[in-house]
Amino acid sequence: MKCLHRSGWIVLPLLLLGLSCGGEKATERAIERQIEKASGGKAKVDLSKDKMTIKTKEGEMAISQSGAVDIPADFPKDVLVYKGAVVKMVFKQDKGVSMLLETADDVKKVAQAYQADMKANGWQEVGSMPMADGATLNYEKGKDNEKRNVIVGIGRGDDEGKTHITLTVAAEE
């Protein structure tokens, strides 16, 4: 969401301020106004059950600090959602979706699982970049107007030694 990239620094302080004052609805409205001001479009914010959901004309984003958010119902069945991982964030737009997952499993184990599963589901690895504490894997599937891409970013998070998995699935234009 472009509007969140430009004004994202304002959303977190507002959220923390509103929650500390106990004003969930007031916080929702304040965040909506900031997003609307930055983007020039309407925004709908919902703070509930340890989640924040933001909807704009550009897409929808759900974030959870300590719980999990739901995987979109139309998320491709041929893309691995790592078993046992907690979905911390989902950002959905017309042509794709990005998710942030968290697991206690080792980076190498996660990377091996993606390499095996994606290949088994007919994805072609078109690039990979191993790093000291992670990896980036790029996959492609389909032909012409049906082509889809998946980028899997795997790395150690800052919190409690967890491994973070970033999945981005998009249709080529």
pLDDT value of position 16: 42
Where do the domains of the chain lie? 1-64, 68-173
Query: Which CATH code for domain 68-173?
Result: 3.30.310
CB-based contacts of 91, cutoff 8 Å, min separation 6: 1, 59, 60, 61, 97, 98, 99
pTM for this entry: 0.70
In this model, does residue 170 exceed pLDDT 80? yes
pLDDT value of position 161: 81
In this model, does residue 144 exceed pLDDT 60? yes
- Region of poorest pLDDT, from 11-15, 146-150, 153-157: 11-15
pLDDT band at residue 132 under the 50/70/90 scheme: confident
- Region of poorest pLDDT, from 8-12, 113-117, 154-158: 8-12
In this model, does residue 137 exceed pLDDT 70? yes
- Calculate the average pLDDT of the chain: 79
pLDDT value of position 159: 64
**13-27, 30-44, 72-86, 130-144 — which one is most confidently predicted on average?**
72-86
- Region of poorest pLDDT, from 91-100, 101-110, 111-120: 91-100
The sheet carrying 163-171 orders its strands as 43-48, 51-56, 59-64, 86-93, 96-103, 163-171, 148-156, 134-141, 124-131
In this model, does residue 150 exceed pLDDT 90? yes
